[in-house]
Amino acid sequence: MNNGQKADIYVDISGHDYHVHIEQNLLSKCADYIAPFLKNDKILIITDSNVERAILPELTRALLPLHAEIITYIMPAGEPSKNWAELEKITNWMILNGVERSSHVIALGGGVVGDIVGFAAHIVKRGCHFIQIPTSLLAQVDSSVGGKTAINSPMGKNLIGAFHQPAMVLIDPNFLNSLPKRHVAAGFAEILKYGLINDADFFQWCSENVDAFFDGDIDARIYAIKTSIASKAAIVAEDEKELSGTRALLNLGHTFGHALEAETGFSEILLHGEGVAAGMALAARYSEWRGDIQAGIADNIAAIIKRAGLPTNLAECGINCAGEKLVEHMLHDKKLTGGNLPFLLMRGIGETYLAKDVDLSDVAAFLNDEKARGNAA
């Protein structure tokens, strides 16, 4: 159901269905949304050090009508926290604070908080519930929905994890007011992804509204969030556990992107959304290299990615290694089946497909060519 600036998107997964509520100023009403999920007199909230400052005090105030004890765990902000050590601390904290299997812990933050808290909820007491309150753009348009939860392994991205759907997702676009611009851009990469996957009209809308979006236009922001989440919800409902190939579409740009993130050590050098942005530009140029798309389309795609202030080539990601090294990282990709790595490639804007005939030595040659051409994009 959509109503102007509000949206309620139903994620129709059998046995794990839930609602995503999107509304400006939703925070002021979140006690009403959360009340039905409260099973005892405690609310456990896990957030990070930046979101603690920007949003936690207001959330705590908004939950006062529930008369519950609010207990918070603050993890260090950023991708390096998505690891075993932090997972252990969070799970210990949950248990020490009396989490029950019927409890709904709250993940308040960006994709890092959502991914690790979702995984903790999956394993503590063999599974308790969690509610996502995403505060970064990337989390509001992508990571809070769909139930992929994980930590990183030293060998690669999200290699330890589980599918565990949230019980509800609460999105207030006002949270984006305190989000640094670099992270707004990173989230915009995943928005562009939905257009490139299967919605050329939305990609066109993004090209026409990129400036309004970055200027904080609330109508543009809500439209982009709800279109993205509706697209993701439909894909996830069709193929929750990425078995049929439909959900793999959401991985557009990620095989290249995760390799770039691994090469830069899952650090602040390259944010996930930045890796995805460059990964989508590379996927488009690789599609052109193979003759899958007409010349010129990859340049158009790179142009809008660039306008959003995102990287479109290896050099802009701080990558200077050989193509073969990036391909080595790709061998840890979860899509690898029987030694074959399928790639999300494009036949046009809005026409992404899963190519199963990609030869990794050809990918290495393509990446070496990118490097040799000075990565001009």
Ligand X SMILES: O=C(O)C(=O)C[C@@H](O)[C@H](O)[C@H](O)COP(=O)(O)O
List Cα–Cα distances, 81 to 148, 245, 302, in angstroms.
Answer: 17, 30, 31
Q: Hey, what are 351's tokens? A: 């026409």
* Residues shown for the chain: 377
Specify whether 126 is catalytic. yes
Q: At what angle do helices 360-372 and 323-330 cross, to 10 degrees?
A: 140
Q: For residues 71 and 96, is the Cβ–Cβ distance under 8 A?
A: no
Site for ligand NAD in 235-274 (CB under 6 A): 271-273
Specify whether 242 is catalytic. yes
Which span (122-130, 221-229, 247-255, 318-326) binds ligand X, by CB under 6 A? 247-255
Which residue, among 290, 319, 316, 292, has the nearest Cα to 302 in the 3D structure? Answer: 316
Q: For residues 218 and 25, is the Cβ–Cβ distance under 8 A?
A: no
Among 48, 190, 261, 288, the residue binding ligand X under the rule CB under 6 A is 190
Query: Is 268 exposed, middle or buried, given 0-12, 13-18 or 19+ CB atoms closer than 10 A?
Result: exposed
The secondary structure of 147-174 as a DSSP string is -EEEEEETTEEEEEEEE---SEEEE-GG
Options 82, 104, 129, 148, the catalytic residue: 148
Among 23, 111, 171, 185, the residue binding ligand NAD under the rule CB under 6 A is 111
Q: Hey, what are 281's tokens? A: 């530009």
Is residue 254 involved in binding ligand X (CB under 6 A)? yes
Q: Hey, what are 327's tokens? A: 């391909």
Site for ligand X in 134-153 (CB under 6 A): 142, 146, 148
Site for ligand NAD in 328-367 (CB under 6 A): none
Among 26, 87, 105, 139, the residue binding ligand NAD under the rule CB under 6 A is 139
Specify whether 148 is catalytic. yes
Is residue 240 involved in binding ligand X (CB under 6 A)? no
- Contacts with ligand NAD by CB under 6 A lie at 48, 50-51, 54-55, 77-79, 82, 109-113, 115, 135-136, 138-139, 142-143, 146, 148, 158, 175, 178-179, 183, 186, 271-273
Where in the sequence numbering do the catalytic residues fall? 126, 148, 190, 232, 242, 247, 251, 254, 258, 272
Binding site for ligand X (CB under 6 A): 142, 146, 148, 157-158, 190, 247, 250-251, 254, 334
